[in-house]
Amino acid sequence: MSNTDSTHAKPRRITIPFILDLITVSEPDQIQKIETSGDVDRLHAYDTKSLPLWIKRYFKSTKFHDDKRDLWFCPFESASNPTYQPRRNYLQEKVDTGYSQEDVKKIAQLLKTNAKNEVLAHEMVQVVNQRFFGEEIPQRITELAKDTVQSFTEVISPFRYRRGIKAQEQIMDYCEQKLPSHAHILDVGHNIGEVVQATAGALRKLKDNLDEPVEEIFTLNAPTPQVPRIAIKSSTFDGLLSSPTKPGKSVLIFKISEAAAKTKDIFFTFGVGRKERACVFQDFFVKFMQDLQRELKQD
Ligand code: HEM
């Protein structure tokens, strides 16, 4: 199908001169075309100080960036960054140590007894993240982890914005104190937030859909709505845009949850529809949810 196919919505673009150039893409084939074009990269392909101001302001209130130490979560690093591959490998190795059937039973029990979201999130954080710390992650941290900002609209509220910044600072300080020195504190700290913000809701979705295949549930209800990229070359992506991107200035937002629902491809739930650079947690997540579904169906 050609990229001028009229059934395909074109990317949407909002430009405010010198302040913002934001391009939103939700068609799965356009996302993949742009991702593989070589004309975009991860945000931290540029030094933090040279990124658009709104990016720096927004991301310091999220779980993806540590403003004080200038750290970014692994998927925000260009593959050409020498720290990228070892960081990914470390997380992958840790995640691949898996989970126990006791973990599955514990979460199933909480779901069956309608435990509160905070309790569910706290326990799920232990299942996924205790392996990095070697000890229980305190309630104080799992509660703070729900406060980091999750969407652009949230920062309209100064209260939520400031609360997000503060939560992120405290989580990072905790990670710095408790993690072994070879661990990347942002990569690990991020995952506490991801589990609190995404996995607890996902568990409830699973409970409501015990007879549907896990991959179908989580392509129709993908927890991550979107991921960002930044232009590194001037490009219209073969005519998809009417005027070219500006390197280091134009930011692209890939609407991956919409793409996951359209394609039913779980690689859009955990990335941009391809194996390369897919989330290291994908297999763990799918297997855990399948085991949990079986356990929940037992009575
Ligand atoms: C339900 C929970 C989760 C969801 C929905 C999720 C989703 C995603 C998505 C969509 C990406 C792609 C980002 C991009 O292309 O910019 C990603 C990347 C990544 N995720 Fe997750 N994630 C989850 C939990 C986790 C956890 C618990 C870990 C680690 C323990 C983790 C580690 C990673 C890493 C390391 C990457 C980067 C992969 C790369 O760039 O090579 N994720 N995740």
Mutation pick for ligand 1 pocket among 126, 281, 284, 286 (CB with most ligand atoms within 8 Å)? 281
Whether residue 199 has its Cβ less than 6 Å from ligand 1: yes
pLDDT tens digit sequence for 265-275: 999 999 999 99
- Ligand 1 atom with minimal separation from the 227 CA: 16
Protein residue whose Cα sits closest to atom 20 of ligand 1: 279
The arrangement of secondary structure in 3-296, i.e. its CATH architecture, is Orthogonal Bundle (1.10)
Q: How far is the CA of 4 from the centre of ligand 1 (A)?
A: 32
CA gap 52, 54 in Å, rounded: 6
Rounded to two decimals, what is the model's pTM? 0.95
Protein residue whose Cα sits closest to atom 19 of ligand 1: 279
What pLDDT does residue 7 have? 61
Instruction: Supply φ then ψ for residue 289, to 5 degrees.
Output: -65, -35
CA gap 235, 238 in Å, rounded: 8
Whether residue 280 has its Cβ less than 6 Å from ligand 1: yes
What pLDDT does residue 6 have? 45
Q: Are strands 20-25 and 251-254 parallel, antiparallel or unpaired?
A: parallel
What is the full per-residue pLDDT of the chain (299 aa) written as tens digits? 444 444 678 999 999 998 999 999 999 999 999 999 999 999 999 999 999 999 999 999 999 999 999 999 999 999 999 999 999 999 999 999 999 999 999 999 999 999 999 999 999 999 999 999 999 999 999 999 999 999 989 988 999 999 999 999 999 999 999 999 999 999 999 999 999 999 878 999 999 999 999 999 999 999 999 999 999 999 999 999 999 999 999 999 999 999 999 999 999 999 999 999 999 999 999 999 999 999 999 86
Q: How far is the CA of 217 from the centre of ligand 1 (A)?
A: 18
Residue ranges per domain, the chain? Answer: 3-296
Residue 274, Ramachandran bin (φ over 0: left; ψ between -120 and 50: alpha; else beta): beta
What pLDDT does residue 210 have? 96
What pLDDT does residue 155 have? 86
Mutation pick for ligand 1 pocket among 279, 288, 289 (CB with most ligand atoms within 8 Å)? 279
- Ligand 1 atom with minimal separation from the 77 CA: 40
